Each structure stands twice: as structure tokens, then as C-alpha cells.
């Protein structure tokens, strides 16, 4: 049995081990012999693991799967979507802002990361969980903030968070007090302060989302990476996630002020060298991408000034 029941009716299917991202987790919500798949996994393989898990539970992929729900369109979350759709016929659901990634997964590398041509070529040969080696698929349904997704008698509320990327949603099960938090509030590697965003992401949306999620009654936080469920004080988890973002912003402000001015390459160098805050390392584009999005937020807040040559100055 490769599915483990972690809360009554909620099963985790562990995907590949992905270095600093830990294990990639998919979830099954099972209610009244209906199954909903959340985050159909990386690079196709967990698509297989999910099918096996459904059969192991005595359920039929063809008859019992009512939906395939994606928190967002990154490769490690949608890799098995096409395979699962083919095997089950169930509708694939994602927010409109990430639908393009489901249709054309290569756009993640082309448009969502700060990366030059050489970096893109290198990524084609990469074995990381963010590689794209699976076909795209047309979404069957767009999910919106406030929607309800039903499986059996369970109702999940869709909350658009839009921080990690512009189409990122989380799903709240008020009955079980469980939140499927995707990559918006995660724990890789056992460090909620570590985060990254893609070029469509937003630091202010991320902070606002964390503030909102903190107000919900949550006992089970179910992120898509590393540990599959967090039962310790969930409010502490939110606090650390939010602190991580603020620490990251403060570091950039401090170093722009120390240097007098700085470009993204210099700030990336400073951040890796300082080792004072946890940074994503396994893909060389994640850190400069997250720095770029954060600088835009600081500029918008009037704390720094950008210029046409890509150099940032204190305000
Ligand atoms: Zn992601």
C-alpha cells in the first residue's frame, strides 16, 4: 500500500525524493467511494503511483475518481495530470492563471524563471523535480476563489493565494480542519522559512495569504513537499513562513544599502555567501527569480528604486 491515511479520509501518496524539496506529496480525498486527487505529481511517475494507490484502496480509477485538482501549474505538481486524466476520465482543474502551464508545461522554463538561454538548455538535461518530461493537457475546468469542490459529502473551499505563482490556490476542508497548502506554505527541507516564487508570483500576495490562512481553524496543514502533514502548532508554521519572507526582504534592503546600489547577480552572490537565511539551491534559477520578484515588491512599497540598467538603489 503506497497510500497512507493521515487524517480520516485523506491519504498521502509519496512521490519522488527531490533533494532539498524532500518528498513530493500528492493527496487523495476519499469519501462515499469517490476519490479526488490533489496535485497529480511530478514527471509522470507519481501518476502511476496514484493509480496504484486508488486500486489498493479497492476503488476504480475509471468509475470512482471525480476530479484531479492542481494547486498550481509547476512541473512537480502537474506531471501526472495527463496520465491520470487518460486513465480516469476525471476533469483536470486548475486556476486560469496557471492553465497555460498545464497546456504547455515547457512555458515554466521559458517564461516563469529568470534564466538565460544556456540555463534553459541545461535544464532540459536536468534530473530535478522541476524538469518537464511529460505532455501537457487542456484543463477541463477553471477553479476560482470561493469555489467549492465536492467529493462525496466533503466540500473543499478554493482560496486563491497567488504568492508562489499567480494561479496558486489552496484548498480548505473545514470539517476535517485540514488545509492543502501546496507550495504556498511549505516545509522544505523541514524549514518553513525557505520559499521561492516564479516570475508571476507576488510577495505581497504571499504575505496577505499567510495572514488570511492564519485566521482559519486548521489542525492539519498538508503541504506538497517534504513532510506530508504537520500536526504541531500550525500557527507557528504560518509565523515562520511569514518571517522567512520578511527576512528575505530585509536582507535585500540591507545589502542594497550596504553596497550603495546592486544588481540581481550581486544580491544572489551576497545571499548565497551570507548563509544567514535559507535559500533554494537545487535549481540555479530559483534564487535570482525570487530576488527579482521581491525587489519589485520593495520598489512598489517605495523602499528601493530600480533603473533601466537593472541596478537597484536605496530609495
Ligand atoms: Zn511550485
One domain, residues 233 and 282: no
Which of the listed residues 194, 216, 241 is the one where a domain comes to its end?
241
CATH number of the structural domain spanning residue 299: 1.10.10.10
Cα(125)–Cα(120) distance, integer angstroms: 9
> Grid coordinates in use for 120?
534553459
Which of the listed residues 241, 272, 293 is the one where a domain comes to its end?
241
CATH number of the structural domain spanning residue 138: 3.60.15.10
Query: What pLDDT does residue 67 have?
Result: 98
**Cβ-contact 14, 222 below 8 angstroms:** no
Query: What pLDDT does residue 132 have?
Result: 83
One domain, residues 61 and 198: yes
Query: What pLDDT does residue 189 have?
Result: 66
User: What are the pLDDT tens digits along the chain (315 aa)?
Assistant: 678 898 999 999 987 777 777 778 899 999 999 999 999 986 557 678 899 999 999 999 999 999 999 999 999 899 999 999 999 999 999 999 999 999 999 999 889 999 877 777 777 767 666 778 888 999 999 999 999 999 999 999 999 999 999 999 999 999 999 999 999 998 776 778 889 999 999 999 999 999 999 999 999 999 988 765 566 678 888 999 999 999 999 999 999 999 999 999 999 999 999 988 888 877 889 999 999 999 999 999 999 999 888 899 999
Residue bearing cell 500536526: 231
Single pTM value for the model: 0.94
One domain, residues 19 and 122: yes
One domain, residues 34 and 174: yes
Query: What pLDDT does residue 165 have?
Result: 98
Query: What pLDDT does residue 42 have?
Result: 67
What residues contact 194, with CB distance under 8 A and at least 6 apart?
20, 186, 188, 244, 278, 279, 280
Residue bearing cell 524532500: 22
What's the 211 CA to ligand 1 centre distance in angstroms? 20
One domain, residues 261 and 182: no
What's the 261 CA to ligand 1 centre distance in angstroms? 30
What's the 95 CA to ligand 1 centre distance in angstroms? 14
What's the 144 CA to ligand 1 centre distance in angstroms? 18
What's the 257 CA to ligand 1 centre distance in angstroms? 31
One domain, residues 32 and 53: yes
One domain, residues 14 and 135: yes
**Cβ-contact 281, 196 below 8 angstroms:** no
> Counting beta carbons within 10 angstroms of the beta carbon of residue 12, is it exposed (0 to 12), middle (13 to 18) or buried (19 or more)?
buried
Query: What pLDDT does residue 61 have?
Result: 96
One domain, residues 230 and 253: no
Which strands sit side by side in the sheet containing 141-143, from one edge to the other?
3-7, 10-17, 23-31, 34-38, 65-69, 92-95, 141-143
Number of domains in the chain: 2
Residue 276 belongs to domain spanning: 248-314
> Grid coordinates in use for 205?
500576495
Which of the listed residues 224, 241, 258 is the one where a domain comes to its end?
241
What's the 11 CA to ligand 1 centre distance in angstroms? 21
Dihedral in degrees, nearest 10, Cα atoms 241, 244, 250, 252: -120
Query: What pLDDT does residue 98 have?
Result: 98
Nearest Cα neighbor of 2 from 70, 42, 55 is: 55
Query: What pLDDT does residue 21 have?
Result: 75
What's the 258 CA to ligand 1 centre distance in angstroms? 32
What residues contact 55, with CB distance under 8 A and at least 6 apart?
61
One domain, residues 226 and 255: no
Amino acid at each position: 500500500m503506497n497510500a497512507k491515511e493521515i487524517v480520516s479520509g485523506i491519504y498521502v501518496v509519496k512521490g519522488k525524493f527531490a533533494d532539498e524539496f524532500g518528498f513530493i506529496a500528492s493527496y487523495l480525498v476519499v469519501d462515499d467511494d469517490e476519490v479526488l486527487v490533489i496535485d497529480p505529481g511530478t514527471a509522470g511517475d507519481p501518476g502511476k503511483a496514484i493509480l496504484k494507490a486508488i486500486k489498493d484502496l479497492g476503488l476504480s480509477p475509471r468509475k470512482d475518481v471525480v476530479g484531479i485538482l492542481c494547486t498550481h501549474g509547476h512541473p512537480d505538481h502537474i506531471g501526472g495530470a495527463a496520465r491520470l486524466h487518460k486513465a480516469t476520465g476525471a476533469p483536470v482543474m486548475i486556476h486560469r492563471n496557471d492553465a497555460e502551464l498545464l497546456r504547455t508545461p515547457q512555458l515554466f522554463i521559458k517564461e516563469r524563471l529568470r534564466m538565460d538561454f544556456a540555463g534553459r538548455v541545461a535544464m532540459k538535461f536536468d534530473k530535478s523535480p522541476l524538469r518537464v518530461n511529460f505532455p501537457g493537457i487542456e484543463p477541463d475546468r477553471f477553479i476560482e476563489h470561493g469555489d467549492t469542490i465536492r467529493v462525496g459529502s466533503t466540500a473543499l473551499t478554493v482560496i486563491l493565494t497567488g504568492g508562489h505563482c499567480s494561479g496558486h490556490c489552496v484548498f480548505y476542508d473545514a470539517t476535517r480542519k485540514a488545509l492543502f497548502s501546496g507550495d504556498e506554505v511549505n516545509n522544505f527541507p523541514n524549514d518553513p522559512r525557505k520559499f521561492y516564487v516564479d516570475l508571476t508570483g507576488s510577495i505581497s500576495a504571499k504575505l496577505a495569504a499567510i495572514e488570511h490562512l492564519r485566521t482559519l481553524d486548521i489542525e492539519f496543514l498538508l503541504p506538497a513537499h517534504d513532510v506530508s502533514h504537520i500536526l504541531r502548532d500550525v500557527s507557528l508554521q504560518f509565523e515562520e513562513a511569514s518571517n522567512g519572507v520578511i527576512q528575505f526582504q530585509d536582507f535585500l534592503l540591507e545589502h542594497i544599502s550596504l553596497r550603495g546600489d546592486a544588481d540581481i547577480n550581486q544580491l544572489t552572490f551576497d545571499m548565497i555567501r551570507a548563509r544567514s537565511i535559507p535559500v533554494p539551491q537545487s535549481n540555479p534559477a530559483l534564487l535570482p527569480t525570487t530576488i527579482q520578484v521581491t525587489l519589485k515588491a520593495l520598489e512598489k512599497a517605495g523602499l528601493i528604486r530600480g533603473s533601466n540598467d537593472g541596478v537597484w538603489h536605496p530609495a
